[in-house]
Structure 1
Amino acid sequence: MPSKKENSGCGCSSIPISFILVVLGIGYWGFTQIDRSKLNQFLTAAQEPATTTQPPIAPVLAPAPRQPVAVTNAPPSKIPAVRLTKPQASPVSATLKKRSSPQTLWERKAIRGIYLSRYQATNNASEKMIRERVRYYRDQGINTIIHGVWGNGCTMYNSDVMQQILGYKSCPNQFQDQWLNWLIDEAHKQGMQVHAYFEKGIKIDKNSPIFDLAISKRWLVPGVDKTYAGIDHYVLDMEIPEVANFFRKIAVEFVQKYPTIDAVQWDDYLGYHAGLPGKVDRTDRLTKFVRQMRAEMKKANPSVSFDLCHHNPYWGKRYFAADWQNWNVDRVFIQTYNDANFNQELDYAKQYAGVAISDQQLYRLKELVNNTKIKSVLLFPSSGKPEETAALVKKFTPISN
């Protein structure tokens, strides 16, 4: 009897061809009915690597623009390899991060200023030197440079008014004509301000280039002003129309020549010391002069602040004929150089724009910084070394977190 053969295979050969065709047709129809979008998502997910979920960042910023990739027809061997680099933080993000960090008490002061005498950043200074100096003060936590532009009867810039009235155009100094433009420009780039400091105000000494002229024209108030020991000053008489007109023209010329200056500041040298001979009350006449000078300056350039750094209102009026509460000034900073009366002077300073201290009083800086009622702090380097004074700020108070 013949042996029984084993079934080797699926037996497909015994299935009718017509049945196979029907099965294939049904399968094709079902495949085409599958949601193609879901299929594509599935296939895409299978091909892409898994990524780590990042927490949301607010605010949402537009991505930084990427450097375009050049398209070339060069053969593959000539196309340089592309090196992948770590993505850099967006400048906008960095700025927001910096601004969002808490400010120190020092940084909350509206004006953190330092005085520079008219000779400290001008004599033979190049543009590079001036711009570097501005950045230096910024790094020390200073946001305002109060720089001398006038003093001892002459300007620290080329002045047409000086030339027409006095016969020469500036103080004797080897400054470059654009020095103040460079200073203002760099300060504004660094988010700082520049205030023009009218040193010595209406007073001159024997070294003034206009001293002999002032004597010959009788422009001086009789007597010697001995406000500060060791220095004899002579006061220009603002009651003389020629003298008053000269100062008003200088004020107008300056804010027109330097229209982007942030402020001008006069100090206690805008006054007549009570020690001058004779019992002459010049208070009202000085008030009239200052108000006229300020009005003409503001008319020429309304955006410039007319500031004053003077003794408290009682001392100013009592000993310097300076009734500055009636001068219509924009801001007043109280001088507290007399350390013996420091606490009393602070009571005045809280009512006005701020306080000015000398480099001998830096140990009081922390106290001033912590006092939220003191809105601004000005530093006066009596040693004549403003860079060293500015550097000491970090010693007495943190300038950043």
Structure 2
Amino acid sequence: MGTKKISEGVENGINHVSQTEVVQEYQQKFSPYWELIKEIDLPIFRQQTPPTIVLLEDNYPIPSENSPPPNTPELKKETIVNVAPVELLETNQIIGIYMSRYEITNNASEDAIRQKVRHYRSQGINTIIHGVAGNGCTMYDSEVMQKHIGLQRCPNKFREQWLHWLIDEAHKQGMEVHAYFEKGIKIDHGSPIFNLAKSKNWLVPGIDRTYDGVDHYILDVNNPEVANLFIDMTTEFVQKYPNIDAVQWDDYLGYHSSLPSEENRTPILTNFVQRMITSIKKANPNVSFDICHHNPYWAKKEFAADFDAWGVDRVFIQAYNDNNFREELAYAKKYNGIAITDKQLTRLKEVIDNEKIEGVLLFSLAGNPQNLAVQWREYL
């Protein structure tokens, strides 16, 4: 990896980016900031004292709209860096960091995964929110996927025990692991299940262009096959990994108001989520079901997501639009916390110091949570 500008990892516009398969999605989602992000020379691991951490990089070609499903990301190399541990905050707040579903693992050894977890803890992070599924398929071997889709998991080179190692090491370090179901009920052309979903009429009419430049197709949870796929998938997950601390979905659990529809999708989505939570809790009553979404007014108005009616355990408010930060912070105080990006680190101190904020979730717009884990403490 090394110290370099984000723009140095970009070829021919945005055709190839290191570290994460989902950078393109983040780029489109936060397109107003992207030109600024590309020019930032991020301070990467400047300290020179132990412990030594093994970081994994992968080269991953980001598909164009009409390209076939991507091949499995190939491991590029291991990079050894030295990161100084910091004094841990004495706080009951959740200090969480998001990692895409390829971030900590792809073909990584047990030692590499465990060392990477220890790196995050050494920098004061107490919660890892790691992608475990996305784009219609799981990142782990799934009997449910095999039954419903005929595919055991998303194409990847993950070792079978990857998530067991991650959870075990996190718990040894006094951390929590929250399973992040990325992309929610949205898929794109690159999804391994796209053709199947299209042929089985699993998609609602229209194309979701909530974020400029990326086309998403939304799975219809009013279709029993679709609803049962996700309910069975999440239930299987909390049984397969009984020590997981939480399951989290985000704003991709919703139907944008721009999609054509003659029906009110709000009660349909509510029924689906309630059924999913009931099934999860029956299988594993100790797991928390969390949501990270827009504020409740916007979520319901624009995404048919009335999460106050869902029966979730915790709600984190996305405050990625800094122009409305004060309003979003007011909502966050009424719920369980707030999610901010690496472009809002100047907001961290007031958020951390606020006794009404139970948790802060950090999201790297640049697709580099390793960097963010080192950087965030500078703003307290």
CA distance in 2 between partners of 1:223 and 1:351 (Å)? 35
Corresponding residue for residue 215 of structure 2? 232
Q: Report the TM-score, using the length of structure 2 for normalisation.
A: 0.76
Q: Deviations over 1:260-311 (max 9, x none)?
A: 0000000000100111124532000110010001000100000000000011
Q: Report the TM-score, using the length of structure 1 for normalisation.
A: 0.72
Q: CA deviation at 1:382?
A: 1.7
Q: Secondary structure at the match of 1:172?
A: coil
How do residues 284-303 of structure 1 correspond to structure 2 at under 5 angstroms?
A: 284-303=267-286
Corresponding residue for residue 153 of structure 1? 136
Corresponding residue for residue 322 of structure 2? 339
CA distance in 1 between partners of 2:90 and 2:206 (Å)? 45
1:324 to 277, 287, 307: 307
CA distance in 2 between partners of 1:316 and 1:107 (Å)? 33
CA distance in 1 between partners of 2:335 and 2:197 (Å)? 36
1:272 maps onto 2:247 in alignment? no
Residue identity in the other structure for 2:293: H
CA distance in 2 between partners of 1:278 and 1:189 (Å)? 49
CA distance in 2 between partners of 1:278 and 1:241 (Å)? 18
Q: CA deviation at 1:140?
A: 0.7
Q: Deviations over 1:148-185 (max 9, x none)?
A: 00100000100001011111111111100100000000
Residue identity in the other structure for 2:291: L
1:311 maps onto 2:294 in alignment? yes
Residue identity in the other structure for 2:137: C
Q: CA deviation at 1:110?
A: 2.1
Corresponding residue for residue 199 of structure 1? 182
Give the conservation status (yes or no) of the 8 Å contact 1:204–1:211.
Answer: yes
CA distance in 2 between partners of 1:278 and 1:377 (Å)? 36
Give the conservation status (yes or no) of the 8 Å contact 2:138–2:153.
Answer: yes
CA distance in 1 between partners of 2:260 and 2:224 (Å)? 22
How do residues 361-380 of structure 1 correspond to structure 2 at under 5 angstroms?
A: 361-380=344-363
Give the conservation status (yes or no) of the 8 Å contact 2:266–2:300.
Answer: yes
1:184 maps onto 2:187 in alignment? no
CA distance in 2 between partners of 1:155 and 1:179 (Å)? 13
Q: Which sections of structure 1, spanning at least 5 residues, go unmatched?
A: 1-102
CA distance in 2 between partners of 1:132 and 1:182 (Å)? 10
Corresponding residue for residue 110 of structure 1? 93
1:130 maps onto 2:113 in alignment? yes
For residues 107 and 230 of structure 1, do their structure 2 counterparts lie closer, same or farther at Cα, with a shift above 3 Å needed? farther
Corresponding residue for residue 175 of structure 1? 158
CA distance in 1 between partners of 2:101 and 2:242 (Å)? 19
Higher strand share: 2
Corresponding residue for residue 357 of structure 1? 340
Q: Deviations over 1:179-206 (max 9, x none)?
A: 0000000000000000000000100000
CA distance in 2 between partners of 1:293 and 1:162 (Å)? 16
How big is the alpha-carbon RMSD for the aligned residues of Structure 1 and Structure 2?
1.2
Give the conservation status (yes or no) of the 8 Å contact 2:93–2:357.
Answer: no
Give the conservation status (yes or no) of the 8 Å contact 1:114–1:380.
Answer: yes
Corresponding residue for residue 393 of structure 1? 376
CA distance in 2 between partners of 1:162 and 1:127 (Å)? 25
CA distance in 2 between partners of 1:385 and 1:314 (Å)? 31
Give the conservation status (yes or no) of the 8 Å contact 1:141–1:393.
Answer: no
CA distance in 2 between partners of 1:360 and 1:161 (Å)? 39
Residue identity in the other structure for 2:199: S
Q: CA deviation at 1:123?
A: 0.8
CA distance in 1 between partners of 2:179 and 2:147 (Å)? 22
CA distance in 1 between partners of 2:231 and 2:125 (Å)? 31
Q: Give 1 or 2 for the bigger CA radius of gyration.
A: 1
Q: Percent identity?
A: 64
Corresponding residue for residue 209 of structure 1? 192
2:240 to 257, 276, 282: 257
CA distance in 2 between partners of 1:370 and 1:236 (Å)? 40
Higher helix share: 1
Give the conservation status (yes or no) of the 8 Å contact 2:125–2:373.
Answer: yes
Ranges of 4+ aligned residues in structure 1 off by more than 6 Å? none
Q: Which sections of structure 2, spanning at least 5 residues, go unmatched?
A: 1-86
How do residues 212-223 of structure 1 correspond to structure 2 at under 5 angstroms?
A: 212-223=195-206
CA distance in 2 between partners of 1:162 and 1:278 (Å)? 29
Q: Secondary structure at the match of 1:276?
A: coil
Q: Secondary structure at the match of 2:343?
A: helix
What is the aligned residue count?
Answer: 294
Q: CA deviation at 1:134?
A: 0.4
